[in-house]
């Protein structure tokens, strides 16, 4: 499904974005030739005749201009190039994932080291890390102790992480968000 989402469940395709040949119903249009030179303002019928003489399509590229701008081009080739550019831009985008590391209020130093190494691997891969502690029972009364565990964990990151969101108590959880530090 290429194109932009315009309403629930329906996508605006490349074909919906441009009027082609007989779909252009304007009285006057500004015409650009296939070589990029302006041919001037003329009727849509005359512009379509020029396009058909050169075995190309008349495509409205700027419908909001006054008069609308149409270009004589090979529409099939144009659609192919647009699709190729869109695919290339999607390929170059990097999706940042949020990975989660769970700690406990009573975590020992050795386990904290293991969790910090795991979080460093996530950060080196370019992902964000959400560190969380789920408090149970009486632990809810000792929120500062959980925040202290979070701060100790952040200190173990040795400058490889930046704190996006400080440790905060949210109900029965304490959460903190880390992102990779810029090198």
Q: Where are the domains of the chain?
A: 4-90, 98-180
pLDDT, tens digit, for every residue of 65-97? 888 888 888 888 888 888 888 888 887 777 778
Cβ neighbour number for residue 73 with a 10 Å cutoff: 20
Give the C-alpha separation, 143 to 145, whole Å: 5
Q: Token pair of 94, please?
A: 């990097």
CA dihedral 43, 44, 46, 51 (to 10 degrees): 150
Q: Token pair of 28, please?
A: 């006057």
In this prediction, residue 1 has a pLDDT band, given cuts at 50, 70 and 90, of: very low
The topology under which CATH files domain 98-180 is Translation Initiation Factor IF3 (3.30.110)
CA angle (39, 61, 20) in 5-degree steps: 90
**Residues near 40 by Cβ (< 8 Å), separated by ≥ 6?**
30, 31
Is the distance from CB of 161 to CB of 132 less than 8 angstroms? no
CATH for the 4-90 domain, from 3.90.1570.10, 3.40.50.300, 3.40.50.80, 3.10.20.80: 3.10.20.80
Residues found in the chain: 183
Determine if the pTM surpasses 0.85: no
Instruction: Please give the pLDDT value at position 85.
Output: 87
Is the distance from CB of 23 to CB of 15 less than 8 angstroms? no
DSSP state of 75: H
3-state helix, strand, coil in the chain (%, to 5): 40, 35, 30
In this prediction, residue 183 has a pLDDT band, given cuts at 50, 70 and 90, of: low
DSSP state of 139: G
């Amino acid at each position: 499904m290429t194109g932009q989402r315009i309403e629930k469940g329906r996508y605006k395709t490349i074909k919906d974005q441009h009027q082609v040949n007989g779909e252009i119903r304007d009285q006057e249009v500004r015409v650009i030739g296939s070589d990029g030179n302006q041919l001037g303002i003329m009727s849509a019928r005359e512009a379509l005749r020029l396009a058909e003489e050169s075995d190309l399509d008349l495509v409205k590229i700027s419908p909001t201009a006054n008069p609308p701008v149409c270009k004589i081009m090979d529409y099939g080739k144009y659609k192919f190039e647009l699709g190729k550019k869109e695919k290339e831009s999607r390929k170059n985008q990097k999706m940042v994932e949020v990975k989660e590391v769970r700690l406990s209020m009573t975590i020992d130093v050795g386990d904290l080291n293991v969790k910090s190494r795991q979080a460093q691997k996530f950060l080196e891969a370019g992902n964000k890390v959400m560190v969380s502690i789920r408090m149970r029972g009486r632990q809810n009364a000792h929120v500062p102790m959980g925040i202290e565990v979070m701060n100790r964990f952040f200190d173990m990151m040795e400058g490889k992480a930046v704190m996006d969101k400080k440790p905060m108590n949210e109900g029965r959880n304490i959460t903190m968000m880390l992102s990779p530090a810029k090198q």
